């Protein structure tokens, strides 16, 4: 076996403190090698002549580029640390130079620790659903009319957040209450990594405020349920035509003369599970059927995932609670302009901004929390 160069040994020691706790560096080196191979392959005329192959390679190259860029930054930090330590060990160096070297080393060690955490997160197994679009379902819960009004506001909150992310929101189905709120709203949100940012939003969202109809100024508590389902592709969930029953009926609610006179609304029943999906927002029966099938496919996909995850119940519970949507995850307190996420103990006195779709602080906090949980689990497993 070829002996590792002394400079390389020093670089490894700088990164690991000599404790051998950097076994993941080997994985990063393999990723970098694969990245370089893809870089060469993507410039090959044979690859360019095959659009499907080129697209596949370009996607893989883009995914690896984030890791490789951070790894190369980490290696540059290691080289800087080796250089700084050399100055400290140099007998001829004067005290001023050594002081500067010590200061630089302290800064590099801080950057090293940050880069290592980021690299370990990047090396965690990815959720295969992170890149998917989502089907967002919002339903009024306890609280009567007040719950439907809050459901409408929650839907607007997510729509505004989606707009800030450059995502597209397509309403698939709505049911309006007598006071103009939403009994139910189902929408498809399309864009880049939608599920990765919204996957922790499923659960019960509780509101505390004085309803407009309250005469004595008492604070009421209402709730809505939010479900975020990764949109399933047809190849992932195949639905046998014999397993569904499709009924048509006249739409109800606003929409013009054709709404109540044509059988454009569609109700699809999945016979094996008893699951029912209705859609009536479009004037075209064909469009309503297509939308209903997308919702049905996503719900069946979620059932499939839950069945698979029964084998890893403890991990799922540590990541996203029990998964039971009766579990309260967040409280929106209007009198105090406060929003609290109970899973991570995060409280912000910026409820007005949150309801306007400024969800970055909450969503980033959740992602950071669950990444830390996964890092702990990975460390225990190692």
Q: How many CB atoms lie under 10 A from the CB of residue 330?
A: 20
pLDDT of residue 349: 96
Q: If pLDDT is split at 50, 70 and 90, which confidence band does 187 have? A: very high
pLDDT of residue 234: 61
Q: What is the mean pLDDT of the chain?
A: 83
Q: Please, how many CA atoms are within 13 Å of residue 275, restricted to the half-sphere of its CB?
A: 18
Q: If pLDDT is split at 50, 70 and 90, which confidence band does 21 have? A: very low
More confident residue, 4 or 310: 310
| pLDDT tens column, 267-279 | 999 999 999 998 8
The single residue listed with the structure tokens 């997308």 is: 294
Most distant CA atoms of the chain, gap in Å: 94
Helices (H), the chain: 6-16, 24-42, 45-48, 51-89, 95-123, 145-164, 194-198, 285-308, 313-320, 351-355, 360-381
pLDDT of residue 23: 65
Of the listed ranges 8-12, 55-59, 246-250, 341-345, the least confidently predicted one is: 8-12
Helix (H, G, I), strand (E, B) or coil at 180: coil
The answer to whether the beta carbons of residues 230 and 132 sit under 8 Å apart is yes
Domains and CATH numbers, the chain: 6-123 (1.20.58), 134-232+325-376 (3.30.70.1660), 241-306 (3.30.160.20)
Q: If pLDDT is split at 50, 70 and 90, which confidence band does 317 have? A: very low
Q: Which of 47-51, 185-189, 232-236 has the highest mean pLDDT?
A: 185-189
| pLDDT tens column, 126-164 | 888 898 999 999 999 988 899 999 999 999 999 999 999
| pLDDT tens column, 328-356 | 899 999 999 999 999 999 999 999 999 99
Positive or negative CA dihedral for 229, 234, 236, 238? positive
Say whether pLDDT at 313 is over 90: no
The single residue listed with the structure tokens 């393999």 is: 30
User: Could you tell me the two tokens for 283?
Assistant: 């004037």
* Cα dihedral value 67, 68, 74, 76, nearest 10: -160
Q: Which of 37-46, 229-238, 318-327 has the highest mean pLDDT?
A: 37-46
């Amino acid at each position: 076996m070829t002996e590792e160069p002394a400079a390389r040994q020093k670089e490894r020691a700088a990164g690991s403190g000599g404790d051998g706790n950097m076994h993941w560096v080997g994985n990063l080196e393999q990723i970098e090698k694969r990245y370089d191979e893809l870089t060469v392959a993507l410039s090959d005329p044979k690859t360019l002549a095959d659009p499907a192959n080129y697209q596949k390679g370009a996607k893989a190259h883009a995914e690896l580029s984030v890791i490789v860029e951070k790894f190369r930054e980490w290696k540059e930090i290691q080289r800087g640390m080796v250089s700084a330590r050399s100055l400290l060990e140099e007998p001829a160096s004067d005290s001023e130079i050594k002081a500067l070297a010590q200061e630089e080393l302290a800064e590099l060690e801080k950057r090293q620790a940050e880069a290592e955490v980021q690299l370990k997160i990047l090396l965690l197994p990815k959720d295969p659903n992170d890149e998917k679009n989502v089907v967002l379902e919002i339903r009024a819960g306890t609280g009567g009319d007040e719950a439907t009004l809050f459901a409408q506001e929650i839907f607007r909150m997510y729509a505004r957040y989606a707009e800030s992310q450059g995502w597209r929101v397509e309403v698939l189905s709505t049911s309006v209450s007598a006071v103009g709120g939403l009994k139910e709203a189902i929408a498809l949100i399309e864009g880049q990594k939608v599920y990765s940012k919204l996957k922790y939003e499923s659960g019960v969202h509780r509101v505390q405020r004085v309803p407009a109809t309250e005469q004595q100024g008492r604070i009421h508590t209402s709730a809505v349920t939010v479900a975020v389902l990764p949109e399933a592709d047809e190849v992932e969930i195949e639905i046998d035509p014999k397993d569904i029953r499709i009924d048509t009926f006249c739409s109800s609610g606003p929409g013009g003369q054709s709404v109540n006179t044509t059988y454009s609304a569609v109700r699809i029943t999945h016979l094996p599970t008893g699951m029912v999906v209705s859609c009536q927002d479009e004037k075209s029966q064909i469009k309503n059927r297509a939308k209903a099938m997308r919702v049905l496919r996503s719900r069946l996909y979620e059932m499939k995932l839950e069945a698979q995850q029964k084998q890893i119940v403890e991990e799922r519970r540590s990541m996203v609670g029990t998964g039971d949507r009766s579990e309260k995850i967040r409280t929106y307190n209007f009198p105090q302009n406060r929003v609290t996420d109970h899973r991570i103990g995060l409280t912000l006195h910026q409820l007005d901004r949150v309801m306007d779709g400024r969800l970055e602080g909450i969503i980033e906090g959740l992602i950071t929390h669950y990444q830390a949980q996964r890092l702990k689990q990975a460390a225990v497993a190692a």
